[in-house]
């Protein structure tokens, strides 16, 4: 019906334009020329006493335009209609980090609406009222309107689900070396390790927000608490950055300062005093808000304890308030001199310290994170897909099974060491070429593998297989295809877990994934049990048809070994078509991984 209506408009416009602007104005002039007599022409007359040649020449361009303008009107309507559909479907709406920053707050609601089967708010029937209801629902989703699309809070189940999916995407980027370790820390959603009261957005969205809040506090230093906080809360990221920075500093100091010491008591009392005045909404009356910038630049005891409050307090008043040591400095030494004890170096504590440092010190918005173009393209594609008009997902249990087949004959599977190191007549090797083309990805790969190494020769000796895989994923079709297809399995495993797991399971697994920096495949938990593996194997099968695998194994061809390693690494289901192979190979088979 839509197709018929489209062509009715195209043909109606074409015929209307042709009749009123092309044909009708020519009718009177044509009649006049046909009835004109005794007209003398400078050229030869083929028809005596007739103006047929003139009339034909006048109508020739009209006829040509009449025959061609249908394509023109079709192109105009297609472009116009495509633009309207694209605007309503929000195609390509998120194009850069600024657009992503604005829409990121509603990602969890979009995932819950599009991917989670528990969100059965709409009628599944394809009636026009249901479609209209779905359109209004998606409009609220895209604009963040209505009760169902409130901004995320740190203790919601939707937050944990979204964080799991988002962090899985970022860890996949790291496995492919398209982001660095630093970019992972800037893009991931961290766990609630320090009991922060708000959701901890990626650092890339919180950069410069604390400094902007300090500037805002300086401008409204004499304003009441409600007005100052109202202005800060207009920006969700600024509000979360301020609360997270305060809670993190508070937890950090109470953690590293030894318990049962005067210093610990001073820190605890100091934060209790601040919390009390904030609760009474008299923070700006009690403290000099203009000193926050000084405290931010140099977090010193004197600046925070003595200069922060508007009323000057001497040492005796500070001791009575519990904000100064009872003993003199000459007897007890410098304050905090022996009271600080740092956790072990491998503790996740330092990841959150680096995050706090980034939030407090970043002065410019991080607009070029991630730097890799492919990573930015994938994030943009995923983000745009969440707000498009796509069918609501049913549970993974009800989804239809599907299989993918990749034929393989005798092409190269993985690059060998000699292939990568041998140089051509120009003195360029395959590895050098790939290092040049994928310079940022090579740096990320070296960053992951270079611990304790001093030269590339040592890298070849200890991580040769990883290096071959890195090059093959960028230069060999089968290796890249196999890895890409197995992402279906990882996605199904994630969705299957989110469909059946309780909130406690999701929290536990998400914390385990983030603390160990694992992807969904590397987690040794209930997600990787045989139940999930068998269920996923029934829903998705990837088949690689290796016709000469038997012959290659019998002849000890390196390609046969490469195929075995590739299939083992990716846990593929394999169908072998054995041709020209020994008889013993016909009596063996390779069964699917499940």
Which among 124, 187, 212 has a CA at the least distance from the CA of 391? 124
Q: Does residue 594 form part of some domain?
A: yes
219 and 73 within one domain: no
333 and 200 within one domain: yes
Residue 157 or 284, more confident: 284
Residue 515 or 14, more confident: 14
Q: Phi and psi at residue 309, in whole multiples of 5°?
A: -75, 150
Domain boundary residue among 429, 445, 475?
475
Return the bridge partners of 545, or none: 407, 575
Domain boundary residue among 89, 115, 138?
89
575 and 457 within one domain: no
| 0.85 exceeded by pTM | no
228 and 263 within one domain: yes
Structurally, the chain folds into a number of domains equal to 5
Convert the pLDDT of each residue in 38-85 to its tens digit.
Answer: 666 666 555 566 667 777 778 888 888 888 888 888 888 888 888 888
Q: At what angle do helices 107-114 and 157-175 cross, to 10 degrees?
A: 90
> Residue 258 has what DSSP assignment?
P
Q: Do residues 396 and 499 lie in contact, with contact meaning Cβ atoms separated by under 8 Å?
A: yes
**Among 240-254, 287-301, 345-359, whose mean pLDDT is lowest?**
287-301
Convert the pLDDT of each residue in 90-138 to its tens digit.
Answer: 777 777 777 788 888 878 777 777 777 654 444 444 566 766 766 676 6
Residue 433 or 594, more confident: 433
Q: Which residues contact 33 (CB under 8 A, 6 or more apart)?
A: 51, 54, 55, 58
User: CA distances (Å), 147 to each of 93, 141, 144, in order?
Assistant: 23, 10, 9
- Model confidence at 144, in pLDDT bands (50, 70, 90)? low
Cα-to-chain-centroid distance, residue 585: 46
- Per-range mean pLDDT, top range of 3-12, 327-336, 450-459: 3-12
Convert the pLDDT of each residue in 190-244 to its tens digit.
Answer: 877 777 888 888 888 888 888 888 888 888 878 888 888 888 888 888 898 889 8
Q: Taking the CB of residue 498, how many other CB atoms lie within 10 A of it? A: 23
117 and 45 within one domain: no
What proportion of the chain, given as a percentage, has pLDDT over 70?
Answer: 72
Q: Taking the CB of residue 261, how many other CB atoms lie within 10 A of it? A: 16
| Tokens (6 digits) for 41 | 């022409």
Distance, in Å, from the CA atom of 158 to the CA atom of 438, rounded to the nearest integer, reads: 37
Cα-to-chain-centroid distance, residue 516: 20
Q: Does residue 558 form part of some domain?
A: yes
Give the torsion sign (CA, 437, 441, 447, 452).
negative
Q: Do residues 62 and 26 lie in contact, with contact meaning Cβ atoms separated by under 8 Å?
A: yes
Distance, in Å, from the CA atom of 384 to the CA atom of 374, rounded to the nearest integer, reads: 15
**Among 287-291, 302-306, 363-367, 447-451, whose mean pLDDT is lowest?**
302-306
| Tokens (6 digits) for 468 | 């071959």
Query: Does pLDDT of 166 surpass 60?
Result: yes
Q: Do residues 72 and 22 lie in contact, with contact meaning Cβ atoms separated by under 8 Å?
A: no
Q: Do residues 479 and 544 lie in contact, with contact meaning Cβ atoms separated by under 8 Å?
A: no
Whole-number pLDDT of residue 316 = 58
Alpha carbons within 13 angstroms on the beta-carbon side of residue 54 total 20
Whole-number pLDDT of residue 267 = 83
- Model confidence at 22, in pLDDT bands (50, 70, 90)? confident
Q: Which residue has the tokens 């920006």?
A: 235
261 and 151 within one domain: no
Q: Do residues 141 and 471 lie in contact, with contact meaning Cβ atoms separated by under 8 Å?
A: no
Q: Helix, strand, or coil here: 426?
A: coil
- What rounded mean pLDDT belongs to the chain? 76
Distance, in Å, from the CA atom of 344 to the CA atom of 376, rounded to the nearest integer, reads: 35
Calculate mean pLDDT across residues 283-302: 71
271 and 206 within one domain: yes
Whole-number pLDDT of residue 398 = 82
98 and 202 within one domain: no
Calculate mean pLDDT across residues 158-176: 87
Q: Helix, strand, or coil here: 586?
A: helix
> Residue 115 has what DSSP assignment?
T
Q: Does residue 189 form part of some domain?
A: no
Distance, in Å, from the CA atom of 75 to the CA atom of 93, rounded to the nearest integer, reads: 23
Q: Does residue 188 form part of some domain?
A: no
How big is the chain by its Cα radius of gyration, in Å? 35
Q: Does residue 526 form part of some domain?
A: yes
Distance, in Å, from the CA atom of 261 to the CA atom of 526, rounded to the nearest integer, reads: 43
Which among 594, 579, 576, 589 has a CA at the least distance from the CA of 406? 576
Three-state SS annotation for 490-540: HHHHHHHHHHHCCHHHHHHHHHHHHHHCCCHHHCCCHHHCHHHHHHHHHHE
399 and 386 within one domain: no
Which among 118, 204, 195 has a CA at the least distance from the CA of 154? 195
- Model confidence at 30, in pLDDT bands (50, 70, 90)? confident
Query: Does pLDDT of 540 surpass 70?
Result: yes
Q: How would you classify the pairing of strands 540-546 and 573-575?
A: parallel
Which among 320, 297, 352, 309 has a CA at the least distance from the CA of 514? 352
Residue-wise DSSP of 379-415: HHHHHHHHTS--PPP--TTTSPPEEEEEEESS---S-
Residue 89 or 441, more confident: 441
Q: Does residue 19 form part of some domain?
A: yes
250 and 227 within one domain: yes
Distance, in Å, from the CA atom of 237 to the CA atom of 251, rounded to the nearest integer, reads: 21
Which string of b and e fits 206-230 if b means at least 16 CB within 10 Å? Answer: bbbbbbebbebbeebeebebeebbe
Q: Does residue 223 form part of some domain?
A: yes
Q: Which residues contact 93 (CB under 8 A, 6 or more apart)?
A: 99, 103, 384, 387
- Per-range mean pLDDT, top range of 397-401, 480-484, 551-555: 480-484
Distance, in Å, from the CA atom of 240 to the CA atom of 230, rounded to the nearest integer, reads: 13
Q: Which residue has the tokens 């009749």?
A: 19
What proportion of the chain, given as a percentage, has pLDDT over 90?
Answer: 4
Cα-to-chain-centroid distance, residue 393: 20
| Tokens (6 digits) for 490 | 């990882």
Q: Which residues contact 527 (CB under 8 A, 6 or more apart)?
A: 493, 497, 509, 520
Which among 407, 408, 391, 395 has a CA at the least distance from the CA of 539? 395
Three-state SS annotation for 199-260: CCCCHHHHCCHHHHHHHHHHHCCCCCHHHHHHHHHCCHHHHHHHHHHHHHHHHHHHHHECCC
Cα-to-chain-centroid distance, residue 580: 48
399 and 352 within one domain: no
Q: How would you classify the pairing of strands 573-575 and 402-408?
A: unpaired
Q: Does residue 480 form part of some domain?
A: no
- Per-range mean pLDDT, top range of 62-71, 176-185, 540-549: 176-185
- Per-range mean pLDDT, top range of 287-296, 352-361, 503-512, 574-583: 352-361
150 and 43 within one domain: no
Domain boundary residue among 456, 475, 494?
475
Owning domain of residue 505:
394-412+485-594
Query: Does pLDDT of 306 surpass 50?
Result: no
């Amino acid at each position: 019906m839509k197709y018929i209506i489209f062509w009715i408009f195209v043909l109606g416009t074409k015929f209307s334009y042709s009749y009123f602007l092309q044909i009708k104005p020519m009718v009177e002039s044509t009649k006049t020329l046909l009835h004109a007599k005794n007209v003398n022409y400078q050229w030869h007359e083929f028809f005596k006493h007739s103006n047929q040649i003139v009339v034909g020449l006048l109508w020739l361009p009209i006829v040509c335009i009449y025959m061609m303008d249908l394509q023109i009107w079709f192109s105009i309507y297609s472009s116009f209609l495509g633009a309207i559909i694209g605007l309503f479907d929000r195609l390509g709406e998120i194009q850069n980090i600024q657009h992503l920053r604005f829409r990121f707050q509603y990602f969890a609601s979009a995932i819950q609406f599009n991917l989670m089967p528990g969100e059965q708010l709409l009628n599944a029937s394809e009636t026009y009222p249901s479609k209209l209801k779905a359109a209004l629902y998606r409009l609220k989703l895209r604009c963040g309107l209505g009760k169902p699309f409130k901004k995320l809070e740190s203790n919601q189940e939707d937050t944990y689900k979204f964080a799991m999916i988002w962090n899985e995407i970022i860890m996949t980027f790291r496995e492919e070396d398209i982001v660095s370790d630093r970019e992972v820390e800037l893009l991931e959603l961290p766990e609630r390790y320090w009991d922060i009261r708000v959701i901890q957005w990626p650092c890339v969205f919180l950069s410069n927000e604390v400094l902007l809040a300090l500037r805002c506090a300086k401008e409204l230093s004499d304003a009441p608490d409600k007005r100052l906080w109202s202005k800060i809360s207009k920006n969700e990221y600024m509000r979360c950055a301020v609360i997270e920075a305060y809670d993190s500093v508070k937890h950090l100091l109470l953690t590293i300062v030894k318990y049962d010491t005067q210093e610990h008591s001073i820190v605890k009392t100091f934060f209790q005093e601040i919390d009390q005045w904030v609760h009474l909404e008299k923070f700006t009356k009690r403290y000099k808000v203009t000193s926050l910038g000084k405290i931010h630049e140099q977090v010193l005891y004197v600046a925070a304890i003595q200069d922060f409050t508007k009323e000057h307090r001497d040492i005796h008043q500070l001791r009575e308030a519990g904000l100064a040591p009872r003993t003199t400095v000459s007897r007890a030494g410098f304050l905090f001199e022996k009271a600080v004890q740092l956790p072990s170096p491998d503790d996740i504590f330092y990841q959150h310290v680096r995050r706090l440092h980034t939030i407090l010190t970043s002065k410019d918005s991080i607009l070029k994170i991630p730097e890799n173009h492919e990573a930015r393209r994938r994030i943009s594609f995923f983000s745009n897909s969440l707000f498009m008009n796509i069918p609501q997902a049913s549970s993974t249990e009800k989804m239809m099974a599907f299989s993918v087949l990749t034929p393989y004959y005798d092409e190269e599977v993985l690059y060998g060491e000699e292939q990568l190191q041998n140089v051509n007549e120009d003195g360029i090797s395959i590895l050098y070429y790939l290092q040049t083309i994928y310079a940022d990805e090579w740096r990320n790969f070296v960053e992951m593998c270079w611990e304790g190494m001093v030269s590339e020769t040592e890298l070849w000796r200890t991580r040769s297989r990883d290096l071959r895989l890195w090059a093959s994923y960028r230069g060999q079709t089968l290796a890249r295809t196999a890895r890409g297809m197995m992402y279906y399995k990882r996605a199904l495993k994630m969705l299957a877990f989110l469909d059946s797991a309780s909130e406690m399971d999701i929290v536990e697994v998400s914390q385990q994934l983030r603390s160990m920096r694992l992807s969904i495949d590397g987690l040794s938990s209930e997600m990787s049990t045989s139940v999930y593996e068998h269920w996923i194997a029934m829903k998705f099968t990837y088949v690689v048809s290796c016709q000469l695998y038997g012959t290659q194994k019998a002849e000890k061809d390196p390609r046969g070994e490469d195929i075995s390693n590739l299939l083992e690494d990716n846990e593929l289901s394999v169908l072998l078509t054995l041709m020209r192979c020994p008889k013993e190979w016909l009596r063996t088979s390779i069964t699917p991984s499940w």
